[in-house]
Structure 1
């Protein structure tokens, strides 16, 4: 596989300068970017008012998806402390694939390894097709992709598509969260807990101005939510 990767990179290196890292127009989109064909569009809500930054989600993701040390599909970013001692507090936010409906990483992939699953809307990677060119890493405005040191292919969160979801379970991060700060569900199901929460709470999504249409929603932490 290494020889094929080197051959590919040598034959295409002249094209690197011509590749746009933010091709958000649908004109050059991979065929896999068509809308989901079933009544499923998976998304995730992170309630920052409930997150305590314990990193249980990070470790569960690593164990279930066999993520090697040194890289991660998910991280919890802590900012703070805010306020003055002893009334100090932190904010915790999730950093992972946003599962964009208009995904730049899919648009730039020259082999079709990066794709949007038509049945679920999940942005995924076919490691067997990936040649390690790293175009998708450069294109991702959320900086969440990496090269897996074991498979040598691009990797990221896929909502446990090949592990827990195949077994009819929730994503590992959702299952393990001790405060129920994560809610996973189908945006097309009006009766789902996810949709109910999205209707009942003001939420935010990162970098919506880019037109990526991310499917990670956030209930923003208010000042003083997490007190030390």
Structure 2
């Protein structure tokens, strides 16, 4: 009996301390996943997207290809924009728009359309990146400021990281035969510049900044909007945050 009391006291003390509860809550998906506290004392980069401001102009896609030498063939993008069309019967169609091509407008006579909107997507630069965990040679790694990069000199093109990414944000470069993806334009942000896609966005739908700086555009974006992330239940802690995101988007 005394042993049982001792066990119960110890168990309750752990619960009351918040350790067990905190561990359980961290497993459960919630909007809190979009607001994980960044490490203190260093830069910790994040990216914001205002879905209601995106007009589907594809300038971001074109700027990314120019800046990062992304292959000029279909299906190779470091960032892309999807057009969602939801109809009154409950169906939703999704199509990636093409750079340098005007999105085909839906006519006002099409009464079946309930709403249409654009959603920019890119590598979510996860704080807990599955791509880093599965890389057998350490070619995919995370910098101290939270950016996930690929060392093409050590990448063996095994595609494990491509399969592990739940956001479809990686591809195998057809020339180098190594994994490639968005890097937040790391060569630019290291020099104090904005990512190319952010710089060219005509509606400021894309936001970038240091999550540890209270006055940065990203910190203001998080404070002033109801924030969502893609696939929060996976616990990858993505650092691409969406405002005004429709429930149809996955």
Contact 1:91 1:221 in 2 (8 A): no
Alpha carbon RMSD of aligned pairs, Å?
2.2
Kindly tell me the number of residue pairs found equivalent between the two proteins. Answer: 188
Partner of 1:128: 153
Contact 2:40 2:212 in 1 (8 A): no
Partner SS for 2:48: strand
CA shift for structure 1 position 167: 3.5
CA shift for structure 1 position 95: 2.0
Task: Give the one of 67, 76, 84 matched to 1:79.
Answer: 84
Q: Write the distance in 2 (CA, Å) between the matches of 1:206 and 1:222.
A: 11
CA shift for structure 1 position 81: 5.8
Partner SS for 1:77: strand
Partner of 1:5: none
1:136-174 residue CA offsets vs partner (Å, 9 max, x unmatched): 011111111101112211000000013x22432100000
Q: Write the distance in 1 (CA, Å) between the matches of 2:217 and 2:63.
A: 22
Question: Where do 5+ consecutive residues of structure 1 fail to align?
Answer: 1-24, 26-34, 224-228
Partner of 1:115: 141
Task: Give the one of 65, 70, 77 matched to 1:67.
Answer: 70
Return the TM-score normalized by structure 1.
Answer: 0.77
Partner SS for 2:61: helix
1:52 has 2:77 as partner: no
Question: Where do 5+ consecutive residues of structure 2 fail to align?
Answer: 1-26, 28-37, 89-106
1:203 has 2:227 as partner: yes
Task: Give the one of 170, 173, 176 matched to 2:200.
Answer: 176
Note closer, same or farther for the CA distance 1:147–1:192 as it changes in structure 2 (3 Å cut). same
| Structure exhibiting the larger radius of gyration computed from Cα positions | 2
Return the TM-score normalized by structure 2.
Answer: 0.70
For residues 12-23 of structure 1, the aligned pairs below 5 Å read none
Contact 1:61 1:172 in 2 (8 A): yes
Q: Write the distance in 1 (CA, Å) between the matches of 2:55 and 2:181.
A: 23
Q: Write the distance in 2 (CA, Å) between the matches of 1:42 and 1:138.
A: 25
